[in-house]
Homo-oligomer: A and B are copies of this chain.
Amino acid sequence: MKAFCFDVFGTVVDWRTGVAREASEFFSRHQLAGIDPYDFADAWRNLYQPAMEACRSGKRPFTRLDILHRENLEIVLRKYDVNPDKLDDDALAQLNSAWHRLDPWPDVVTGLTQLKRNHIIAPASNGNIALMVNMAKRAGIPWDAILGAEVTQAYKPSPPAYTRMVEILGFEPQEVCMVAAHNNDLHAARQCGLATAFVARKSEHGVHQTTDLEPSEDWDFVVRDFNELADRVLSSN
């Protein structure tokens, strides 16, 4: 194995808690009462796949995630009877960049630091480059490179999101391991010949999560967290 490439939202960082925290501050500042910030985070996230699907299907050209997030933010605000046109544009931009300020799960930085000694580590996220760089700077995530949708110009789980990444790295598919908390991401990566590692993140969607609690296939690695992944990789060398 030469490189480990990581899904980020859910796998590396806890998007729900981070978005809810910033949404809550935003609601206080703008005296918007009665919106549950976790419900708001979920509602915003629910618009994520349909927005990318428009790009995947060719209905619109590839558009970076910061822009899709901003469009979705305005939609979700309206669902909560908040008119975004009456809010300050800088305040909306600040809330939109909440996705740049998500906290990693507690095992991430130590596990990645250990993996990085002998392997290339990079995000293979649908998030754009600026989002990933700002997140990594704030949280101390030691990526070797920022890969992902903006580099491949393709959103996962489209095959080019994986195949172009492997080609850019100059490796064979089986030399690159996709790491994700989502079985569908690993399924798509495996279809493209990549190795796969599943790490369950059982509270990504909160305590009542029902999806991705277990591996759905015999992935190459099934681990509790990134520290176990690093230990397993080290001992298999």
Contact = CB atoms under 8 A, between A and B. Distances in A.
A133 B128 CA distance: 19
A230 to B, nearest CB: 16
Nearest to A170: B130
B130 A169 contact: yes
A101 to B, nearest CB: 14
Nearest to A120: B133
A168 B144 contact: no
A118 to B, nearest CB: 10
Interface stretch (A13-21, A43-51, A145-153): A145-153
Given A120-B137, A129-B168, A150-B151, 19 more contacts: A120-B133, A122-B133, A128-B168, A129-B147, A129-B151, A129-B169, A130-B168, A130-B169, A132-B145, A133-B144, A133-B145, A134-B170, A136-B144, A143-B144, A144-B146, A145-B145, A145-B146, A146-B146, A150-B168
Interface of A: 66, 120, 122, 128-130, 132-134, 136-137, 143-147, 150-151, 168-170
